[in-house]
Amino acid sequence: MDVHEPQSWHHGLVARWWSLFRRGGPEVDYFRRFVEAGQPALDVACGAGRLLVPYVEAGLDVDGCDASPDMVALCAEAAARVGATPSLVAQPMHELDLPRRYRTVYVCGGLGLGSTRAQDEQALRRLHDHLEPGGRLVLDNEVPWSDPGGWSRWPPGGRDDLPEPEPGGPPAERQVGPDGDEYALLTRMLSLDPVAQQEAWEIHAFRWHEGALVEEERHRLTTNLYFTHEVVMLLERAGFVDVQVTGEYNDLPPTADDTFLVYSATRP
């Protein structure tokens, strides 16, 4: 039995940053096309509600789940501000156990974060089981070569300077929140294992109030890297059929220039 506890760095100050500054993007309109009016949908790894909140504000029937209780709480607050009360739970994907079944399950940026590969496989099986017969799963996944700097570390010698050194101090670039406080995030790669196809990262979050640094946190996260045909095989092993792969939120055939690919699959 896999007893590894899934990680998430979306806690505390990091979760707060995500809720304040991670908004919009092409994913919001793209995934919405798969959510049918009047049909139940599930937002897996919903975070602070970047996709879910606009959907429920528009009257769509969307539930949400996330491995981080902090993110789920922030999502509930954001939904309440638009007059919605979706069902939200704090559960990792591989332990998903909800009372409803859904016409659509979608996962935006959640596959392989803080989990083992065995847990990722189990997660896809759980997503399959939470769909109605004929229901569809839609998920995106960042390709391993999306960042040229990270990809250059795969050959021998490319990882000799890992972990990346810590910055000399807090970043100069900050973002101002609605409370007037300033926020910033710094990330650095700790390790890369090309054989395991796994990266380890550290994130450092900062908050300033009236110009004084009043809060900072550090969290770590591992990410599993998947190539295109791996994801297709995992979906098929989980019981899905009619697996389709398209480019970066455009419904076109995938190309080597896409940094994200989108996978859609059907439960028989």
So what's the pLDDT on residue 7?
67
Superfamily of domain 1-268: Vaccinia Virus protein VP39 (3.40.50.150)
So what's the pLDDT on residue 248?
96
The amino acid at residue 184 is A
Report CA torsion sign: 141, 143, 146, 149. Answer: positive
Question: Is 3's pLDDT higher than 70?
Answer: no
Confirm if 67 and 3 have CB atoms less than 8 A apart: no
Question: Is 1's pLDDT higher than 50?
Answer: no
Question: Is 2's pLDDT higher than 60?
Answer: no
So what's the pLDDT on residue 37?
87
- Dump pLDDT digits (tens) for 231-240: 999 999 999 9
Mean pLDDT of the chain: 95
Q: Which token pair is 202?
A: 């550290």
Question: Is 245's pLDDT higher than 90?
Answer: yes
So what's the pLDDT on residue 262?
98
Confirm if 135 and 240 have CB atoms less than 8 A apart: no
* 10 Cβ contact partners less than 8 Å away, ≥ 6 residues apart: 18, 47, 66, 68, 70, 71
- Dump pLDDT digits (tens) for 246-267: 999 999 999 999 999 999 999 9
Please give the backbone phi and psi of residue 180, each rounded to the nearest 5 degrees, phi first: 85, -10
Q: What DSSP element (H or E) covers 198?
A: strand 198-209
Question: Is 58's pLDDT higher than 60?
Answer: yes
So what's the pLDDT on residue 5?
56
* 97 Cβ contact partners less than 8 Å away, ≥ 6 residues apart: 91, 126
pTM metric for this prediction:
0.94
Q: How far apart are CA 3 and CA 115, in angstroms?
A: 11
Q: What average pLDDT score do residues 163-182 get?
A: 92
- Dump pLDDT digits (tens) for 67-76: 999 999 999 9
Question: Is 186's pLDDT higher than 90?
Answer: yes
- Dump pLDDT digits (tens) for 88-128: 999 999 999 999 999 999 999 999 999 999 999 999 999 99
